[in-house]
Structure 1
Amino acid sequence: MKKTLGVVCGSVLLALAGTSQAFDQKVSVSAIAGTTGFGADASWRFHEHLAVTARYTDGLSFGTDFNEDSVNYDADFEMKASSVKVDYFPFGGRFFLSAGVMMPDIEASVVGTPESGGVYEFNNQNYSAAEIGSVIGVATVSDGTQPYVGLGWRSSHESGFSLFSEFGVVATNVDVSLSTTNGFETINPVLQDDIRAEEESLKDDIDKLPVFPVAVIGVTYTF
């Protein structure tokens, strides 16, 4: 029985080794654009069904505004991210499934002003804009090291130019930090508690989705 099992295992290993040797390893470099910015990646397809890819994107920013209770917030988002992942090509062609880690830095600088009447409402308490000024802070959507999964299409098994695309998600870890331009909360503990409650309210609004969508398109050259 042991001898038979050894023969079977040996045959499987020889078959895998033969497949690995028969595959012509390729390296692909890509110029890309997507929901985390503009940048490049490099992919080493060392097996018919496997590749390792590293990526960096940056330089995407946009502004938006939203309302929370009686406060109008202007948010200026900045996006950048790097990632390392393994791509699995189940059919040996262009289609792949991807899993790995991403190091995103997705956050917004926010400025809040009263919706009307020069009065803020934090935690059901009213404060005049004259005494606290504007509300400023940072809203983080995702940062640190987060898990990533996705799928895509890349002709990394064939030399030359081709188009490339990928769609995936990265986990979020939302955080909000607020203060006032006049710093009145440093001497008023009630206002400080109310601003902490406002942070939690904003965090709950942003944290409705546990993942951030990552969509990428690009041009690839495979050597």
Structure 2
Amino acid sequence: MTKTNIALAVVGIVALAAPVAAQERAAEDSGPRSTVTAAIVGGTLGIGPELGFRINDHIGIRGSATFLSINGSASSDDTDYDAKLRLKSFGGMVDIYPFGGSFRISGGARANRSNAGLDAELSNGQSTIEVGGETYTAAQVGTLSGRAEVKKFAPALTLGWSGGNRRGFMFGFEAGALFQGAVRIREFTSTGTLRNDPNFRASLEDERRSLQDDVDKYKVYPILMTSIGYRF
């Protein structure tokens, strides 16, 4: 999606939100207003607590911490890896409510401590495994392990809906992007008989670079979160 298409999409969402927000604002004027929200959020960043403070009709701030562990798989050059993704981040957002209602445009940043562990070994029925373009036996390789990390600081931008600004239970959602940069694949290690062999170490580095090339293009992490909580 081009920058022009993104801008048009944002303009369209804002235009659609305006009349709904105006009706909502009129309904809220007759009820008790809220300034503090405590919620549980969940989605692509993980699951965790969130606290929000509505400064006035048009500005608010939020802080959250999210965690989650996920088991999955990855593949590079015919080598399959068992992957364990550990989501762990903390951050804050400044919310702008352009119509004074529930629709918000948010910007902020997160301290990103997420990482992934990668392990590969021969599965049942295999006698050899390819590492960095070279073929090795199970005894020579053992278990192949690596680690993937991201930048420790990542800006974020989202569009969202926070429910009516009245006391009581609330439900909200937001979508956007975390600009975390390219994932960094750290040095591979091995438990096999060739773990200290210079030629095998070179193959390990070739394998790491190949996997790094596969992930270099993924520099933006999608944010899709829902929340449920209470406004005090």
TM-score w.r.t. the length of structure 1 is 0.80
Structure-to-structure mapping, 1:1-223, within 5 angstroms: 26-58=35-67, 60-114=68-122, 117-140=126-149, 142-155=150-163, 157-172=165-180, 173-177=182-186, 178-182=188-192, 184-186=194-196, 188-223=197-232
Q: Distance in 1 between matches of 2:75 and 2:55?
A: 50
Report the alpha carbon displacement of residue 183 of structure 1 after superposing the two structures with TM. Answer: 6.7
> What fraction of aligned residue pairs are identical, expressed as a percent?
27
Q: Distance in 1 between matches of 2:36 and 2:126?
A: 61
- Do 2:129 and 2:137's aligned partners in 1 also have CA atoms closer than 8 Å? yes
Report the alpha carbon displacement of residue 117 of structure 1 after superposing the two structures with TM. Answer: 4.1
Cα 1:79–1:136 change in 2 (3 A) is same
Question: Any stretches of 5+ residues in structure 2 without a counterpart?
Answer: 1-32
Amino acid in the other structure paired with 1:40: P
Report the alpha carbon displacement of residue 127 of structure 1 after superposing the two structures with TM. Answer: 2.1
More strand by share: 1
Amino acid in the other structure paired with 1:66: A
Aligned to 2:24: none
Report the alpha carbon displacement of residue 102 of structure 1 after superposing the two structures with TM. Answer: 0.9
Q: Distance in 2 between matches of 1:182 and 1:126?
A: 14
Report the alpha carbon displacement of residue 79 of structure 1 after superposing the two structures with TM. Answer: 1.3
Q: Distance in 2 between matches of 1:182 and 1:117?
A: 16
Q: Distance in 2 between matches of 1:96 and 1:75?
A: 35
Report the alpha carbon displacement of residue 94 of structure 1 after superposing the two structures with TM. Answer: 0.3
- Do 1:112 and 1:136's aligned partners in 2 also have CA atoms closer than 8 Å? yes
Q: Distance in 2 between matches of 1:70 and 1:113?
A: 12
- Do 1:50 and 1:88's aligned partners in 2 also have CA atoms closer than 8 Å? yes
Report the alpha carbon displacement of residue 49 of structure 1 after superposing the two structures with TM. Answer: 1.1
Amino acid in the other structure paired with 1:180: S
Q: Distance in 1 between matches of 2:164 and 2:206?
A: 50
Amino acid in the other structure paired with 1:34: G
| Other structure's SS at 1:184 match | coil
Q: Distance in 2 between matches of 1:40 and 1:108?
A: 23
Report the alpha carbon displacement of residue 114 of structure 1 after superposing the two structures with TM. Answer: 4.0
Alignment length (residue pairs):
197
Amino acid in the other structure paired with 1:61: S
- Do 1:70 and 1:114's aligned partners in 2 also have CA atoms closer than 8 Å? no
| Other structure's SS at 2:101 match | coil
Q: Distance in 1 between matches of 2:193 and 2:130?
A: 17
- Do 1:72 and 1:114's aligned partners in 2 also have CA atoms closer than 8 Å? no
Q: Distance in 2 between matches of 1:97 and 1:204?
A: 34
- Do 2:161 and 2:172's aligned partners in 1 also have CA atoms closer than 8 Å? yes
Report which of the two structures shows the higher radius of gyration computed on alpha carbons. 1
TM-score w.r.t. the length of structure 2 is 0.77
Amino acid in the other structure paired with 1:216: M
